[in-house]
Structure 1
Amino acid sequence: MQSDRVVSIIEKQRAAFNSGRTRSIAYRQEQLRKLYSCLQQAEPDIMEAISRDFYKPAHDTYMTEIGVLLTEIRHAIKHLPRWAKPERVPTTPLLLGSSSSMMYEPYGVTLIIAPWNYPLQLALSPLVGALAAGNCAVLKPSELTPHTSALLARLCKDTFAEDEVAVVEGGVEVSTELLEQPFDFIFFTGSTAVGKIVAAAAARQLTPVVLELGGKSPTIVHADAQIELAAKRIVWGKFMNAGQTCVAPDYVLVHDSVREAFVQAMRASIEELYGDVLQDRARYTSIVNERHFNRLTRLLEGATPLIGGRVDEERRLIEPTVLADIQWDSKIMEDEIFGPILPLMSYESLNEVIAPIVARPKPLAMYVFSESREVQQRLLDSISFGGGCINDTIMHLSSPYLPFGGVGASGVGAYHGCYSFKAFSHTKSVLKQTTAFDLPFRYGTMKHSMRWMKRFFK
């Protein structure tokens, strides 16, 4: 039974963790080097597996799956000794003679539940944080990308002992079994709806979680934007991976005065970057499965696309599509699209942008295209979102110095770089007190102790 194997893995990993062997910095760095070497050697296999799952072009696979992971691992190996070093913090006059510090200790046995849209990166990027922090990990890949899931299982088995890192494959029933186990920490990437289920299961055992979710990420193109560059960067960010990206621009709000120029620039950028994807799919990704393809094509029913709109059911292809005449209460504005369909709305004043965005759940990302610092700052100050870019899309994810995560319905917690290390670590506070003297007023038996205590509490 799968549950018996899961219990066995957790018991082995807990014993390994309790032995203390995962604690040393040298051990953690070696684990990361093993993962790095594994990815380098397995590059052809990774390309093939992801292509078999949803025909992702090799260029996109390397950039968004392999290259970004190699960068993350190198960064962690280099900076880990500094991250793991206890951090001294100031003390107050009340604690005269003492020193204070924060220690970062691993949680123990951790669970990573990965999604299908970037099946390698979003499985192994959290694993980098888990290993850097000194944890053991159970990894649950998505069943919707079976070839990549099987490859991950093989690579981890060949690279790590099962009491260090183990992969458990399967569908929803396996995830449910895993969530019933006593993990010390859970990292989940996926939809908001499933994130609520994970959070509820974690709460029953008081297990800390990081939830990387999604949402309808707005993109705002103001009147003073550099239109051609804005269009190209939005087209690239939206239609990369056929829009199956949690931080892809979900809809565009463009100023009335530049709407026509922006549409023409988008049309030119789609042609330049993707060509006719129904004739030549070399630069374009398919929809992951028939269910998601049907979900997306239903969003096109009754619509008159401004750009694109053609589909190929046999190959699960939907060409880059832009829809106009969209209203805030249109069906397509209800949920995250997660596909190559981009609604376009126009506005005259920023108030028309800010109010409806703020009235909706907080998005994972926001993108602003404007040359005006005043416009940029007003939007940043007025709208809550996980992270984003000024005059670009998606690229904030590529920096290991920026935390990546959502807020509210788009997520809880953050990771990447040192933030991955901290996400998988418990911050332990330590006060080291002197024995050279003892302040007597704290005991209440000293004469005028209240007067002295008030002085120190100021």
Structure 2
Amino acid sequence: KKSQKNYNLLTRLAFGAGRTLTESFRLAQMEAVVLMLEEHECEWVEALGKDLHKPRFETVLCEVTPVKNEAVHAMNNLKKWMQPQPVERNLSTTLDECRVVHEPVGVVFIRGSWCSPVQMCLVPLLGAIAAGNCAILSPSEWAAHTAELLHRLVPFYLDNECFHVILEGVNDLPEVFELKFDHIFFAGKQNRLGISAAHTLTPVTLIIGGKNPCYVDRECDIGTTAQRLVWARFHNAGQSLVAPGYVLCHAQVKARLVQAMKSCLIHFYGSDPRESKSFGRLINLEVFNRVKDLLWRSGKVAVGGQVVEAEKYIAPTILTEVTESDLIMHQEVFGPVLPILTVNDVDEAITFINKQEKALCVYAYSTNTKVRPIIFETSSGSFCSNDSILQSLMVTLPFGGVGASGMGSFHGRYSFDAFSHRKSCLLRSARLECVTYLRYPPYEDHNLSLIAWASTHSQRSRGWCQIM
């Protein structure tokens, strides 16, 4: 804890000295993040291979590339983001300036997740850098090799006074939070960390996750749907915040969908996925045992089901005959198991989804536009039709949860906003006192009428600044 106090003090001093405020500094730090990824790509692949048995393809596609895209997007738009945003004025402020200024919040704390240990550390870090903050980064200790690599490389590429990586277990974080930060970004399920942040009135961005529903309509391309669902659910051995958590499909397409998904699994991973170089492993025995328990206590295995504890291996598994009361429908899986339930129509699917906690993502596969009500009649952090996960990788879309799946959002401009304070600024002129005198005592009804009229006029012209 003493070293964390030292890091906190160093970053406070660096921020107070204004080291992070210039556009050139921010650009240089973001360029350094890209360079760190490019010059050590093999080491990132090796670290994630050791932590998650993650194939190189998935590491480059889902970890390294999204971070580089975020950095390039931020560097290309930083000048525009940093500029004050003017707002409309009313008659009494015609000679004044009304603007919103984005200023950095200060020192931020970023806790990454173990399921996407590079992306969920460095993407929010880029937002903090772009907004002009100092940051302390805490990668998950479960992805130990990736955490060690971040701890070793970040000091060689980023400013040593403004940015630090600490290796702390999740049980130590409440004490770390007591050191007081200006914003906390956290990915994962740890409610007590949110409570710890609340004790110091620290604003938070929480990416919590949840069970992401996926509706498959009877009018859909079964082959394409199966391929996209199988990839989304079983990449990284199912350890993803944004993977489909369960499928709601029509009874008349269920058998065809299961068969198509079985064919996809054989095509993707061979007859024995355990031998495939494209299929990962679970992060540790704690996760393995929890997923195995959910698998054995829910529904009926239609495909897969094999487990090997010594390798932390669970085969890609599809469950049928699952009921709403099954244990797997009440816990986030974070493993290669996909439950399938049946519904009669899209309205029943919407009713089912709305009975659950709000999800991080909702998915729908259909060639029929009648499923569009799912967008408007359900609430979730994001929505994607006829594919899965891709909406969470787009730098121009905000990514975050709602309700039980989290609060706040990030990616691109939304990351910049998450780590910025939007300060209202009115730069008044000393002139036009012949108008503003109306607000001064002694109060007169005639003056009040004039001010009320001006105020009413402003309300009808949206966006006018109301100060007189």
TM-score band w.r.t. shorter chain: over 0.9
> Could you tell me which amino acid in structure 2 is paired with residue 443 of structure 1?
Y
Distance 1:349 1:425 in 2: 44
Q: CA deviation at 1:7?
A: 0.6
Change (3 A) 1:426 1:267: same
- The C-alpha deviation readout for 1:88-143, integer Å capped at 9, x for no partner, is 11123454433211111111111001111111111111100011111111011111
* Partner residue, 1:297: 292
Cα drift, residue 454 of structure 1:
1.7
The CA deviation at 1:225 is: 1.2
Q: Deviations over 1:139-168 (max 9, x none)?
A: 111111111111000011211233211011
1:375 — aligned with what?
371
- 1:277 Cα offset (Å): 4.4
TM-score, L = length of structure 1: 0.96
- Contact 2:274–2:313 under 8 Å retained in 1: no
Shift of 1:276: 3.4
Q: What residue is the counterpart of 1:145 in the other structure?
A: 143
Q: Distance in 1 between matches of 2:161 and 2:285?
A: 37
Is contact 1:141-1:168 (8 Å) kept?
yes
Give 5+ residue unaligned stretches, structure 2.
Answer: 457-468
Aligned match of 2:165: 167
Give the letter aligned to residue 436 of structure 1: R
Amino acid in the other structure paired with 2:40: A
Kindly indicate whether the alpha-carbon contact (under 8 Å) linking 2:409 and 2:418 is maintained by their aligned counterparts in 1: yes
Larger displacement relative to structure 2 (157-166 or 331-340): 157-166
Q: Which moved more, 1:233-242 or 1:200-209?
A: 200-209
Q: CA deviation at 1:446?
A: 6.7
Aligned to 2:83: 85
Quote how far apart the aligned CAs of 1:182 are.
1.2
- CA distance in structure 2 between the partners assigned to 1:197 and 1:443 by the alignment: 51
Deviation at 1:434, TM superposition (A): 2.1
Deviation digits for residues 422-455 of structure 1 (CA, Å, limit 9, x no counterpart): 1111111101222221222122447520121121
When the two structures are aligned, how many residues end up with a matched partner? 452
Structure 1 contact 278–312 (Cα < 8 Å) conserved:
no
Asked if 1 retains the 8 angstrom alpha-carbon contact of 2:226 and 2:260, the reply is yes
Shift of 1:4: 1.0
* Corresponding residue to 1:443 among 440, 443, 464: 440
Give, in angstroms, the shift of residue 297 of structure 1.
0.7
Listed one character per residue, the Cα deviations across residues 313-337 of structure 1 (whole Å, up to 9, x for unaligned) are: 2211111100000111111101111
> Is 1:308 aligned to residue 304 of structure 2?
yes
Mapping of residues 188-337 of structure 1, within 5 Å:
188-191=186-189, 194=190, 196-302=191-297, 303-337=299-333
**Once the two structures are aligned, what percentage of the paired residues are identical?**
36
**Separation in 1, partners of 2:304, 2:403:** 34
Q: Secondary structure at the match of 1:364?
A: strand
Aligned-partner SS, 1:386:
strand
Provide the residue aligned with 2:7 in structure 1: 9
Aligned to 1:103: 101
Query: d(CA) in 1 for partners of 2:12 and 2:221?
Result: 55
> Following TM superposition, by how much is the alpha carbon of 1:187 offset from its aligned partner in structure 2, in angstroms?
0.5
Match of 1:433 in 2: 428
Q: CA deviation at 1:69?
A: 0.9
SS in 1 for 2:311: coil
CA contact (8 A) 2:365 2:385 kept: yes
Distance in 1 between residues matched to 2:318 and 2:34, nearest whole Å: 39
Q: 2:425 matched to 1:414?
A: no
Q: Distance in 1 between matches of 2:176 and 2:319?
A: 41
Calculate the aligned-residue CA RMSD, in Å. 1.4
Relative to the length of structure 2, the TM-score reads: 0.94
Structure 1 residue 372: Cα displacement: 2.0
Query: Judging changes above 3 Å, is the alpha-carbon distance between structure 1 residues 328 and 94 closer, same or farther for their aligned structure 2 residues?
Result: farther
Contact 1:51 1:57 in 2 (8 A): yes
Local SS of the residue matching 1:287: coil
Q: In structure 2, what is the Cα distance between the partners aligned to 1:346 and 1:422?
A: 41
Q: Which runs of 5+ in 1 are unaligned?
A: none
CA contact (8 A) 2:273 2:279 kept: no
Q: Which residue of 2 aligns with 1:57?
A: 55
8 A contact 2:150–2:165 mirrored in 1? yes
Report the residue type matching 2:114 in the other structure: W
Shift of 1:260: 1.7
Equivalent position amino acid for 1:236 in 2: W
Q: Any idea what SS the aligned residue of 1:17 has?
A: helix
